[in-house]
Amino acid sequence: MAEPSRILIKGGKVVNEDCSVISDVYIENGKIAQVGPNLQVPAGVRVIDATGRLVIPGGIDPHTHMELTLMGAKSVDDFHIGTRAAVAGGTTMILDFAIPTKGQSLLEAYDVWRSRADPKVCCDYSLHVAVTSWSDELKKEMAILAKEKGVNSFKMFMAYKGLYMLRDPDLHRAFAQCKEIGAIAQVHAENGDLIEEGAKKMLSMGITGPEGHELCRPEEVEAEATQRAITIANAVNCPLYVVHVMSKAAAKVVSNARREGRVVFGEPIAAGLGIDGTHYWDKDWAHAAGYVMGPPIRPDPSTPGYLMDLLANDDLSLAGTDNCTFNVCQKALGKDDFSKIPNGVNGVEDRMSVIWEKGVHSGKMDENRFVTVTSTNAAKIFNFYPQKGRIAKNSDADVVIWDPKRTRKISAKTHHQALDYNIFEGMECHGVAVVTISRGKVVYEEGKLNVSPGHGKFIHREPFSEYVYKRIKQREQVRKPAAVVRKPYEGKVASLTKDD
């Protein structure tokens, strides 16, 4: 039987970023057609009872890496498996990264990622593009991507030396171009030179296991790069988005910068909010290696709670996952040298539940802030609000019925990801997606998936997101440096002195 394209969600509590209200939601042809009490709808409409549950905008994961080849391994969640897992956890859109291979143009990379993703995605998606070198040609390509291809965000790496890393002058050029074309600059903030030196030191001391990964890049390596990126971005009045904020030190840098008025957004991820990095010291190598990602999950056990506090209070803006999954045998590429362990962890399926458990159930944030950090702010920053990120008339029908009382235990045995372990294994979470609706279609219901590859669509994002650029534009007007008008100096001028 064909899936009805009309659905009435009855009696749930509709939660948006700014308010919660008991309301019906009527969905027609992929859009939200009406929101209000006791809606009268045509006969034949499927009715879903949401009494006692929340009706929230589908989650938006702003940071995933499906089928990315990194450090000699390809991440095992492809766009099909990864987006299936996403909808099973209540996420209805992902933003992935097109990352060029050495010598590949940005436009080619974009086309490659589109051709991988378009036929496979089970929910909507969009693409950031990574800038991993610099040239005039590349600068032009950034403009084309922003004007014609729906890309308004570019990621620059300060780590992965010799592969992706840009040095400060190129960061400056890339940020300046982002500002010019109305994009937001994203940054992987770690000092790549210090990581290289630190890794050599650990290996020379005989520390070859996963603990060496954290020890060679302590918190200040992340915090220094974060501060440097903010300084460079501010020098060219470019909005900045710091991906995967993992440490208290880096989070403090972002928070202070926001208080000083910088246009900067910090993105913690499910891994950093849900668990700590003491796993790197586990006696079982495979277990420890499973947590290797950059920047590392921090061993200070107060870190997850601290990051959640900052997320709850808007020092950090939204939560991603950096979902980049490598099986144990792929991690084993670094069995004798931690610096060869492919970097990445899971999260796309569990992000919503982990944040509900650690954020809302714990009393740190309310349901409205939950919606803000899991959905609305991503839509605002990356410029597709209120198309997504809100339950409102005319918004896309990406809707989740969320049961805050139900619990589930996270396990690799039951997850939908391709990964053969789960970093949240055994975590009991309140907050479960009961029904997930993507583009008006029920794609997940009471534990059962009903997805079709290619159902999702690419979301085209215009440049100059108002949410990000209003302040930038105004500053451009009122903070232009101007030369002091003065009479020319007419006194004596010394002759240049030569070195002895």
Residues forming the site for Zn ion (CB under 5 A): 188, 322
For the chain, the residue count is: 500
Quick one: DSSP state of residue 53?
A: S
Which CA distances in Å does 62 have to 96, 314, 339? 7, 17, 27
Q: How far is the CB of 329 from Zn ion (least distance, A)?
A: 22
Check binding of 321 to ligand URP (CB under 6 A). Answer: no
Q: Which does 343 bind (CB under 5 to 8 A by kind): ligand URP, Zn ion, none?
A: ligand URP
Interactions with ligand URP, residue window 207-266 (CB under 6 A): 244
Query: Which of 182, 344, 386, 389 touches ligand URP by CB under 6 A?
Result: 344
Minimum CB–partner distance for residue 68 and Zn ion (Å): 8
Nearer to ligand URP, 57 or 82 (CB): 82
Separation CA 1–CA 4 (nearest Å): 9
Give the shortest CB-429-to-ligand URP separation in angstroms: 23
User: Residue 181 interacts with ligand URP (CB under 6 A)?
Assistant: no
Q: Are 55 and 14 in contact (CB under 8 A)?
A: yes
In the three-class reduction of DSSP (H, G, I as helix; E, B as strand; rest coil), residue 432 is classed as strand
CB 53 within 8 A of CB 367: no
CA–CA separation, 182 vs 485, rounded Å? 32
The two tokens of residue 158 are: 């300060």
Quote the distance between the C-alpha of residue 179 and its chain's center: 20
Cα R_g (the chain), whole angstroms: 23
The least CB distance from residue 342 to ligand URP, in Å, is: 8
Nearer to Zn ion, 222 or 322 (CB): 322
Between 12 and 304, whose beta carbon lies closer to ligand URP?
304
Site membership for ligand URP, residue 65 (CB under 6 A): yes
Interaction between residue 351 and ligand URP (CB under 6 A): no
| 8 Å CB contact between 426 and 417 | no
Out of ligand URP, Zn ion, none, what residue 339 binds, judged by CB under 5 to 8 A for its kind, is: none
Q: Check binding of 343 to ligand URP (CB under 6 A).
A: yes
Task: Return the residue nearest ligand URP (CB atom).
Answer: 343
Report the residue closest to Zn ion, judged by CB: 188
Q: Which does 13 bind (CB under 5 to 8 A by kind): Zn ion, ligand URP, none?
A: none
CA distance 24 to 34: 8
Is 295 in contact with 243 (CB distance < 8 Å)?
no
Question: Does the footprint of ligand URP cover residue 341 (CB under 6 A)?
Answer: no
Of the candidates 183, 102, 94, 186, which has an alpha carbon nearest to the alpha carbon of residue 144? 183
Number of residues that bind ligand URP (CB under 6 A): 9
Q: Which of residues 280-309 bind ligand URP (CB under 6 A)?
A: 293-294
Q: Which is nearer to Zn ion, 15 or 273 (CB)?
A: 273
CA distance 78 to 61: 15
Residue labelled with tokens 């590349």 = 138
Residue 344 touches which member of ligand URP, Zn ion, none, C-beta under 5-8 Å by kind: ligand URP
Binding of ligand URP at residue 188 (CB under 6 A)? Answer: yes
Distance between CA atoms of 387 and 35, rounded to whole angstroms?
Answer: 15
Rule CB under 6 A: which residues touch ligand URP?
65, 188, 244, 293-294, 322, 324, 343-344
